Each structure stands twice: as structure tokens, then as C-alpha cells.
Amino acid sequence: MKAAVLYSGGKDSSLMAVILQRLGYHVELLTANFDVFPSWKPAKEAADNLGFKHQILKANPEILEEAVEKILKDGFPNQGIKHLHNKVLYLAAQNYNLLADGTRRDDRVPKIRLNEIQSLEDTKSVQYLNLAGWGHRTINQLSEKLFKIKKEPTSMKNNSDYEIEIRYLMGQKEGENMASKLFPPHTQSRVIGWREDE
């Protein structure tokens, strides 16, 4: 049984991948890229270090344009990121019977709703799953047990979230100030490999 996990190199999607692998799935990690900035690199590095197969999911730059326009119009990133993620789910679903991501219970970005999940599953004949039943405390506890983790300020070079290409395109279109205002600097936890006792 093959399963794909949309992968950022962060704790949530890494844990989702480990769960499916330990249940017996052949897991492939996918990192979406819109051909604007090679933000997939840190995710690939994490996947390699964990020993997972990794692929770049090449997506149409127009989807990124749409997301950036939405975010500029809204004045905050949540709906734009959700739009991007939904498009990426449909794209990834073309090639897999089971598709997962690391969405957790207390994610700030709006979660895909039940009716949206049903549409995705019915339209694409796919099973979709995530960590919507798991909170950040459990995910942090498990991640510290399983993974070597590096905490550091997010930069363009150490993060594979959608945010990076959005920022890059927004910086080109509207200047760095706008990008920094909508995506203020923050600290991130990044998976860099297995803990030695795992």
C-alpha cells in the first residue's frame, strides 16, 4: 500500500509520515513547488535524513499568483494559504490512493472542512487523512522523542512552507516591506534527522 504525505520538513508532516510508515504503508513525501523559488530543498534534506523517498510536486505558478493576490486583498495570509493547499491536495491526489498531510487540531491556518474533504475524496478517488485529532503538545512530545530537531529563526533557506514562495513572489511584486509585514519573523522547529535511539 502506497501513501503520499505532503511534506514541509516540519514536525507535523514528519510525524504523519512516521505513523503511516509504522502502519505498513510505503510512504512517499511530496513537497509542492511553484517554480518561483527552490523552497523544497530543506524538506528534501529532512526526508533524506529520515530515509524517506521524496519528490517535488511541480505546481502551476498561477496558483501561487492567485494566493498572493488573495493575501494582498485580505491583508492576512490564512485564506491564501488555504487556497494554495487545497489546489496542491487536488494535484497530489491524481497519483495516489492515500494522501495525508500534517494538519493538526490546533493549526492556525483554516483546516480543510469535512465537505471539502468529501469532495476531494469523491472527485479524485483518494483517501485523505491528517492529524486533526492531535494537538500540538502531543506532536511536540512525540517529535522530541523521535527526531533531532533544530530551532532557529525562519529564513528563505531553512523552510519549505508555502510561506516561502509566497513571500518571494510578494517581495517581487510589492517589495520586501509588504512581505515582512504579512509574514513577520518567527522561530521554527525543523526536523533534521532521527534521534539516535530511534
Q: What are phi and psi of 39, to 5 degrees?
A: -75, -5
Among 18, 27, 92, 182, binds its own copies (CB under 8 A): 18
Under the binding rule (CB under 8 A), the answer on residue 195 touching its own copies is no
Under the binding rule (CB under 8 A), the answer on residue 133 touching its own copies is yes
Instruction: Map residues 22-41 to x or -, x wherever contact with its own copies holds by CB under 8 A.
Output: xxx-----------------
Under the binding rule (CB under 8 A), the answer on residue 189 touching its own copies is no
- Residue 86 φ/ψ region, left for φ over 0, alpha for ψ in the -120 to 50 degree band, beta for the rest: alpha
**What is the spatial distance between Cα 90 and Cα 151, in angstroms, rounded to a whole number?**
32
**What is the spatial distance between Cα 131 and Cα 76, in angstroms, rounded to a whole number?**
24
Between 131 and 164, whose beta carbon lies closer to its own copies?
Answer: 131
Under the binding rule (CB under 8 A), the answer on residue 141 touching its own copies is yes
**What is the spatial distance between Cα 150 and Cα 143, in angstroms, rounded to a whole number?**
11
Task: Output the smallest distance, CB 138 to its own copies, in A.
Answer: 5
Under the binding rule (CB under 8 A), the answer on residue 51 touching its own copies is no
Under the binding rule (CB under 8 A), the answer on residue 192 touching its own copies is no
Among 36, 72, 142, 192, binds its own copies (CB under 8 A): 142
DSSP state of 141: H
**What is the spatial distance between Cα 67 and Cα 192, in angstroms, rounded to a whole number?**
29
Helix axes 61-74, 78-93, angle to 10 degrees: 160
Under the binding rule (CB under 8 A), the answer on residue 89 touching its own copies is no
**What is the spatial distance between Cα 145 and Cα 139, in angstroms, rounded to a whole number?**
10
Residue ranges in 144-183 that form contacts with its own copies under rule CB under 8 A: 145-146
Under the binding rule (CB under 8 A), the answer on residue 86 touching its own copies is no
CB contact at 8 A, 194 and 146: yes
Task: Output the smallest distance, CB 30 to its own copies, in A.
Answer: 18
User: Facing residues of 104 across strands?
Assistant: 131
Between 131 and 166, whose beta carbon lies closer to its own copies?
Answer: 131
Between 83 and 105, whose beta carbon lies closer to its own copies?
Answer: 105
